[in-house]
Amino acid sequence: MNVMNKSTVDEIRRRFDGDVERFSNLDTGQVSTVDAPLSLELITEAAKRVNPGARTLLDVGCGAGNYTVKMLDKIPDLDCVLLDLSLNMLNRACERVKPLTAGAVNVMQSDIRTAPLGENRFDIILAGAVLHHLRDDVDWKRAFAKLYISLKPGGCLMISDLVAQDTPVLTEYIWEHYKNYLNETGGPEYCSKVLDYIEKEDSPRSVTCQMELMRTVGFTGVDILHKHICFAAFCGIKPSNACPQV
């Protein structure tokens, strides 16, 4: 995969700085994401069922806070860490999240690749529409290893994201369906805008690739919750008997 011409971290940050209002509303902010409300429901409910006694949450690429807001509706009063490149997004997420929990709310303006997450810290990690910004093989493996290390034993990583296909002929087929979806949703101009944005900014990997990476770094209970066209929701669990130091 050629990632040389993809958006830089600063370019991505600037784009999200100017898009807070849209991403504050799941119904209107994620129209290009097929089944966004369903995936959000699935990963938060799955997190609750895997770890009903959870006390600590990390929301990676939290945006305006939709995933944390939904998680707090299921498990109240979590201590929350909101991580995002965009300070504007973090400010909005914090405004929305703080009234919903008696727990601590901390913000971290950082790239997941460089963020100091610590070890054995979180019961739940949510990663909604963020990991597709990772670039090469090293990025992907290090990110999954870092998230694994930052989870407490028994903790879970819940992902909802744009995904690729492993087979070229199926890639073409799936993207034909996605183009049809975009045209039906917003017309040809909207379709072109979304596809141009994906080409410039995103570098997704397949569900199978990501699940293999998860297993490689130590996750068990790796499973698919949902897949529709080129979007998927899936998860992994850190074993409860995992060593305290990884």
Residue 1, pLDDT score: 47
The alpha carbons of the chain give a radius of gyration, in whole angstroms, of 17
pTM listed for this prediction: 0.94
Contact 44, 126 (CB under 8 A): yes
Reported confidence tier of residue 245, pLDDT bands at 50, 70, 90: very low
Residue 236, pLDDT score: 98
Share of the chain above pLDDT 70, in %: 95
In the chain, how long is the greatest CA-to-CA distance?
52
Which of 163 and 27 is assigned the larger pLDDT? 163
What ranges do the domains of the chain cover? 9-237
Instruction: Go through the chain and tell me how many residues it has.
Output: 246
Residue 243, pLDDT score: 63
* Digit-coded pLDDT (tens) for 163-184: 999 999 999 999 999 999 999 9
Is the per-residue pLDDT at 117 higher than 50?
yes
The per-residue pLDDT of the chain, averaged, comes to 93
Residue 4, pLDDT score: 63
* Digit-coded pLDDT (tens) for 57-88: 999 999 999 999 999 999 999 999 999 999 99
Share of the chain above pLDDT 90, in %: 85
CATH architecture of 9-237: 3-Layer(aba) Sandwich (3.40)
